[in-house]
Amino acid sequence: MLASASSGAAELSREEFIDLADTIADDDIYVKDRKTLSTRSLHSDIELRLVDRDVWFLNGGFPVNFDGRVNCVAPRLIQATHTLQVGAAIQAMTTRKKGLLDLDPRVCSWVTRNFQAELQHYIGGNSSAKC
């Protein structure tokens, strides 16, 4: 899995990966379902074949915490995303299961509980806070 957690789209260039995969027509590196790319959502996952393995480019190469909408979030509140990504990475490294898995509900509950407490603290102490 390739996933970006940056604040912009430049970390993993969707176009460059596709262009590189298309460089040689008959090799072992290519975009799977290449013909459907132009009709799919810009944020759909892209599956690439890299000689001996498949790689998934999550969220079309955009940061996995980005869905295309503009939002304004105080930096201390977006840390929940990073915490979930660390939890997912740890889970991926410690499981023997293959493919996409749901994040362990215990991690989700812990993050939700602590994030809500942080949010309440932030809102309570910054009722006029603006981005």
What pLDDT tens digit does each residue of the chain (131 aa) get? 777 776 655 566 778 888 888 888 788 888 888 889 889 888 888 898 888 888 888 888 777 766 666 666 666 666 777 788 888 888 888 888 877 788 899 998 998 888 888 888 877 765 444 44
Structure tokens at 8: 């912009």
How many whole angstroms separate alpha carbon 15 and alpha carbon 67?
18
Q: In this predicted structure, what is the pLDDT of residue 106?
A: 92
- pTM for the whole structure: 0.51
Q: Are residues 104 and 49 in the same domain?
A: no
Q: In this predicted structure, what is the pLDDT of residue 129?
A: 46
Contact 72, 131 (CB under 8 A): yes
Taking CA 44 as the corner, what is the angle to CA 26 and CA 53, rounded to the nearest 5 degrees? Answer: 40
Tally of domains within the chain: 2
Residue numbers of the domain that contains 87: 75-125
Q: Which of 59, 42, 74 is nearest to 6 (CA)?
A: 59
Q: Are residues 48 and 106 in the same domain?
A: no
